[in-house]
Amino acid sequence: MGVIRSFKKNFSNFFKKLFNKKNARIGIYGPPNAGKTTLANRIVRDWTGDAMGSVSHIAHETRRARRREGVTIQSNGGSISLDIIDTPGLATKIDFHEFMEQGMNEAESKRRAKEATEGVIEAVKWLENLDGVILVMDATEDPYTQVNVTVIGNMEARSLPLLIVANKVDLPESSPSTIREAFPQHPMVAISALEGKNIETFYDEIAKRFG
Amino acid sequence: MQGIQMDLVSEDRLAKMPPVEKIRFIIDEVKSGKILVLEKGLTPEEEATLIEMTMTQIQPDDFAGIEMESYPSQPDGSLIGKLFKKNVVRTRLTVIGPANKLKTLKKDRDMISALVSNK
**Which residues in B lie closer than 8 A to residue A150 (C-beta atoms)?**
44, 47-48, 51
pTM of the predicted protein model: 0.84
Q: Does B19 touch chain A (CB under 8 A)?
A: no
Contacts of B7 (CB under 8 A, 6+ apart): B29, B34, B35, B36, B37
Question: Could you give phi then psi for residue A179, rounded to 5 degrees?
Answer: -70, -45
Predicted pLDDT of residue A16: 53
pLDDT tens digits for range A1-57: 456 665 665 665 555 555 555 567 888 999 989 999 999 998 888 878 887 766 666
pLDDT at A45: 87
Q: How far is CA A81 from CA A25, A28, A84, in A?
A: 9, 16, 10
Question: In 3-state terms, what secondary structure has residue A148?
Answer: helix
pLDDT of residue A22: 52
| Cα end-to-end span (Å), chain B | 15
Hey, is the C-beta of A163 within 8 angstroms of any chain B C-beta?
no
pLDDT in tens, A55-93: 666 777 777 788 888 766 454 554 456 677 888 889 999
ipTM: 0.87
Among A121, A124, A153, select the one facing B72 at the smallest CB separation: A153
Residues 6+ apart with CB under 8 A from B10: B39
Q: Output the pLDDT for position A172.
A: 96
A29, A111, A150, A183: which to substitute to probe chain B, counting the most B Cβ within 10 Å?
Answer: A150
Summarize the confidence of residues A103-125 as an average pLDDT.
Answer: 92
Confidence of residue B90 (pLDDT cuts 50, 70, 90): confident
Longest dimension (CA), chain B: 52
Domain CATH code at residue A26: 3.40.50.300
Q: Strand pairing partners for B112? A: B107
- Tell me the pLDDT tens digit for each residue of B14-56: 999 999 999 999 999 999 999 999 999 999 999 999 999 999 9
Q: What is the pLDDT of residues A116-141, one digit of tens each?
A: 999 999 999 999 988 889 999 999 99
Domain total of chain A:
1
Alpha-carbon distance A139 to nearest alpha carbon in chain B (angstroms): 16
Higher-confidence residue: A209 or B60?
Answer: B60
How far apart, in whole angstroms, are the C-alpha atoms of residue B116 and residue B43? 24
Angle between helices A146-158 and B44-57 (to 10 degrees): 130
Domain boundaries, position A150: 2-210
Q: Are A167 and A42 in contact (CB under 8 A)?
A: no
Nearest CB to B44: which of A92, A142, A150?
A150
Q: What is the CB neighbour count within 10 angstroms for residue B92? A: 17
3-state secondary structure at position A113: helix
Residues of B with Cβ-Cβ distance to A92 under 8 angstroms: 51, 54, 65-68, 99
Chain A 101-120, residues with CB within 8 Å of chain B CB atoms = 110, 113, 117-118, 120
